[in-house]
Amino acid sequence: MAPVKFEQALARLETIVSELEKGDLSLDDSLRIFEEGIKLSKTCLKMLDDAERKVEILIQDKDGRKRLRALSMEEDEDEPAHST
């Protein structure tokens, strides 16, 4: 089975939440999709954690120190792209 993309997992998770909120499912079906939702939630959290680690690695300076700072949208649009 191919790895699921974040957007696909999140969309399915949103569908599951909607189905559970309706309250039309049997107990067995509710438990089945609830379990699927928990698995998808964990998958999404792992993907977000992995992405955060990659971003932190990419913003390290040449000495390996992280240069974390808030980035506003205006700042991002005004600055030209930097190549390293």
Output the six-digit token pair for 51.
């992405």
- 60 backbone dihedrals φ, ψ, rounded to 5°: -75, 145
**pLDDT value of residue 83:** 44
Q: Is the pLDDT of residue 12 over 60?
A: yes
Which residues have CB under 8 Å from 43's CB, separation 6+?
4, 9
Segment 16-53, tens digit of pLDDT: 999 999 999 999 999 999 999 999 999 999 999 999 88
pTM of the predicted model over 0.85: no
Q: Is 24 part of a structural domain of the chain?
A: yes
Coil/strand/helix, residue 60: strand
Segment 59-80, tens digit of pLDDT: 777 777 766 665 555 544 444 4
Coil/strand/helix, residue 66: strand
Count of domains for the chain: 1
Residue 63, domain CATH: 1.10.287
What range defines the domain where residue 13 resides?
6-78
Tell me the torsion sign for CA atoms 66, 71, 75, 81: positive
